[in-house]
Structure 1
Amino acid sequence: MTSIADRLAGPTVPEAPALAPAAPAATAAPAISFPPAGERELRLDLFRGLALWLIFIDHLPPNLLTWFTIRNYGFSDATEIFIFISGYTAAFVYGRAMQDSGFVVATARILRRVWQIYVAHVFLFTIFLAEISYVATSFENPLYTEEMGIMDFLKQPDVTIVQALILRFRPVNMDVLPLYIVLMLFLPLILWLMRWKPDLTLGLSAVIYAVTWEFDLYLSAYPNGFWAFNPLAWQLLFVFGAWCALGGARRMTRILNSPVTLWISAAYLLAAFIVTLTWYIPQLGHLLPRRLEQWMYPIDKTDLDVLRFAHFLALAALTVHYLPRDWPGLKSRWLKPLIVCGQHSLEIFCLGVFLAFAGHFILAEVSGGAAMHALISLSGILIMWGVASLISWYKNVADKSAPRKAALANADLAGGG
């Protein structure tokens, strides 16, 4: 099966027929192969759904389920998974659109998607503010407004709303969508460059990342500070996902399947786990040499520290190797909740932000015990699954009724003629 990158490059020149039949060359199966048109890559949906669940749990106050999220066992967390898959799926979908319809049409479709995400962000911002303000007023607890970062909105609502519309003001837990909006705005340029030179495009992305670190470049936030996720740094993960989708993963097959790569990845994950243990068990701090600590810390999330990026790469390498696209477990009903949430990531992410604050409120006002923590976490996940299933059902009904409506419309036109 050819990749999108191959089709974007145009047809290849046919070779002259061989004088004698040659023995078929042994080729490794691609690490990430492209499904036929109309068939979803369920691994992407699975891990995007997992990222949404982990983000929701991490947004809650620390509880029992928090210890099951990956940020407690290494340097990276669910954000890296979400951004990488976003870059991969965006390049796969709109790269095919650019090949079929051209740059202008594909750009128009991308901008339409950017507008949808922006509207979702504004909607989320408005409802989130209303939710926090209502709770803070009803229970006479101004700490909610301070803890959720909306105190400046209450002081200067006119200025703050304008800053929110230009993505410079964001309450707590609302940093991912602005990052996604900015990255998607540059997707047409990324795809155009990758159509020309994919490896060079990835190299330019790495240069921007290095320059960002060298000169401390960042986007300012309102009323002070900077973006929690610096797009100038996080674009590397997004572009890397796009590069993988457009043929890069296929060309890395031998590297990914190499035992050396797998052992290095496993060793790095083990080392990262040992380091994170010292964060929770201070008695293990002597295991790390002082010079190593001075070189390693702080492991910055805002600018996507190289240790975080490497940790994600190690996780991805092992996952791709041991979880092939045709893995039977992807059809299991036990993984269906994760997959269906991943298929509606924008809606479920917004819902997760609402649920996280609702859970925070219940834990603060009702009970903060372990049983209540577990109940709220599991209830939130069940609600996300239920809403995702409802959206899927509605879309299936709409898709089935569309041909019937078209047929009835055609019949009306024929009768009217």
Structure 2
Amino acid sequence: MAEQGKVVVERDVRLDLFRGVGLWMIFLDHIPHDVVSWLTLRNYGFSDAAEFFVFISGYLAGFIYGPIIKTGHFLAALKRLWKRAIEMYVAHIMLFLIFTAQIARTVRKFDNPLYEDEFNVHNFLLHPDTLIGQALTLRYKPVNLDVLPLFITLVATAPFMLWAMVRRPNLTLLGSIVLYICARKFDWNLASYPPGTTWYFNPFAWQLMFVFAAWCGTGGASRIWPIIQSRLAFVLAIAWILFAFLIVMTWHVSALDALVPKWMIKLIYPIDKTDLDMLRFTHFLALAVVVSRYVPRNWPALNYRWLQPLIMCGRHSLPIFCFGVFLSFAAHWILMQYTRGVWEQLAVSAAGFAIMVAIAWVLDRAGEVPDLFVDVEEIDSSKAALVPPI
């Protein structure tokens, strides 16, 4: 719907909720040996929070910017998406500098080189002049900072993908599938640092999740909706989720490993995250089928108070992700430096959640403060502001 040259988009609160869940899972997964991390998805299936974020980002890009490009405003979409990519790039560089400084200070103060090796910052501390350049070109990335470069790449190329998507959606999706297959077959990936290494999240493979989500956001979901809601799709999704659960349980309980046939082990392993193994992709789609069935857009629970902290975090995903990286390192440091008892693990996890929610609350309140130097009409139109893809 166009209104005075603007596209008005109704916010889907479910996406904020799922992004909030994903942020909390990433925070927990980045804390080694934390008992609370048993609540995260990766312990019970093939996929994890990474698939959450890439799919939601691609869906929003298609849902919001697809109609804008379709009406002939390609440059407007290009400007906004590139602005968002630049914001993520600046956030990544600032996060990189502060994160490495935080680790360097910890190493020096407590005389424990374990942290610099564990978080892949040892080379940076030895050769900061060389590694700064590598970081600026997204080739060098410490541990836990791998995912933002992927989003920067996907969002920066999204305008051109969407231009093709609104004209030939099925052919664009087919092209994405072909690129995915070629990337896996011929080992296409971007070079990383040190030489001989590649990106942990291969953008040539992960683009499939992003493009498929954009295809859904530009109308593909409505075309396959009867299939998604069919009983057969639901049964197959539940069966695949249960299969993934049983396989993952063999990773935690060695006695169960013998129950998996040898031919099946050869068939499914390795379940590669770098190149987005199809087992991960289909596991996420199975979860999406089940969730879409029981969590509609007007789901009453979205208004419950106990879900608002997650929704607030999801509304401010980029800053909360950045703060979450610092908080996960701080929690890891506390547990390693002092004690790793269960109660201590529960305490640092709860404290991290509380801080993330507090930051999201502050950002929420700050967003409600009007700019005195902005025209009144501009303030009113901001109520229909577009939702950023990340």
Matched, 1:116 2:71: no
Deviation of 1:118 after TM superposition, in Å, equals 0.4
Match of 2:137 among 145, 149, 166: 166
Distance of 1:89 and 1:137 partners within structure 2: 43
Alignment partner for residue 140 of structure 1, among 111, 115, 123? Answer: 111
1:18-77 deviations in Å (ceiling 9; x for gaps): xxxxxxxxxxxxxxxxxx935310111100110011001000012221111010111000
Could you say which residue in structure 2 is the equivalent of 1:197?
Answer: 168
> What is the distance in 1 between the residues matched to 2:34 and 2:11?
34
Deviation per residue, 1:304-343 (Å, 9 max, x gap): 0000001000000110111110110011111101111111
The separation in 2 between residues aligned to 1:202 and 1:174, in whole angstroms, is 28
Q: 5 Å matches for 1:84-99?
A: 84-99=55-70
Residue segments in structure 2 that go unaligned for 5+ positions in a row: 380-390
Equivalent positions of 1:337-376 (< 5 A) are 337-376=309-348
3-state SS of paired residue (1:186)? helix
1:178-257 correspondence to structure 2 within 5 Å = 178-224=149-195, 225-257=197-229
Distance in 1, matches of 2:9 and 2:171, equals 30
In the alignment, the residues of structure 2 paired with residue 125 and residue 97 of structure 1 have an alpha-carbon distance, to the nearest angstrom, of: 34
Q: Contact 2:192 / 2:198 at 8 angstroms: preserved in 1?
A: yes
Q: Distance in 2 between matches of 1:287 and 1:406?
A: 63
Mapped to 2, the partners of 1:137 and 1:290 lie a distance apart of 48
1:90 Cα deviation (Å)?
2.1
User: What's the CA shift for 1:108?
Assistant: 1.7
Normalising by structure 2, we get a TM-score of 0.92
Which amino acid is 2:205 matched to? A
Q: Percent identity?
A: 47
Aligned to 1:23: none
Counterpart of 1:186, as a letter, is T
Change (3 A) 1:102 1:154: same
Aligned to 1:31: none
Equivalent residues, number: 374
Residue 390 (structure 1) aligned to one of 343, 362, 368: 362
Amino acid at match of 1:103: F
Partner of 2:247: 275
Deviations 1:199-245 (A, max 9, x none): 11111101100111111111121014111100000000011111111
Q: Secondary structure at the residue paired with 2:306? A: coil
Who is 2:387 aligned against? none
User: Structure 1 regions of 5+ residues with no counterpart?
Assistant: 5-35, 408-417
Which one of the candidate residues 51, 61, 66 is aligned to 2:22? 51
One-letter amino acid matched to 1:357: F
Structure with the greater alpha carbon radius of gyration: 1
Question: Letter of the aligned partner of 1:117 in structure 2?
Answer: M
> Which moves more between the two structures, 391-400 or 83-92?
391-400
Taking the aligned partners of 1:96 and 1:347, their CA distance within structure 2 comes to: 27
Aligned to 2:350: 378
Q: Secondary structure at the match of 1:390?
A: helix
Q: Which shows bigger deviation, 110-119 or 256-265?
A: 110-119
Change (3 A) 1:400 1:384: farther
Residue type of the partner of 1:163?
Q
After superposition, the CA RMSD in angstroms is 1.8
The separation in 1 between residues aligned to 2:312 and 2:78, in whole angstroms, is 28
**Equivalence for 2:232:** 260
- What is the identity, as a one-letter code, of the residue corresponding to 1:361? W
Range 246-255 or range 36-45, more displaced: 36-45
- State the Cα distance separating 1:93 from its structure 2 match: 2.5
The one-character-per-residue Cα deviations of 1:85-134 (angstroms, maximum 9, x if unpaired) are 01111222222432456112221221111111100001100110111011
Asked if 1 retains the 8 angstrom alpha-carbon contact of 2:9 and 2:64, the reply is no
2:304 matches 1:332:
yes
The one-letter code of the counterpart of 1:375 is A
Could you tell me which residue of structure 2 aligns to residue 292 of structure 1? Answer: 264
For residue 176 of structure 1, what is the amino acid of its counterpart?
V
Q: What is the SS of the residue equivalent to 2:145? A: coil
Q: In structure 1, what is the equivalent of residue 382 of structure 2?
A: none
Q: Give the Å deviation of 1:148.
A: 0.8
**Aligned partners of 2:189 and 2:204 also within 8 Å:** yes
The AA in structure 1 aligned to 2:219 is G
Residues 62 and 216, structure 2, Cα contact 8 Å, conserved in 1: no
1:277 partner letter: M
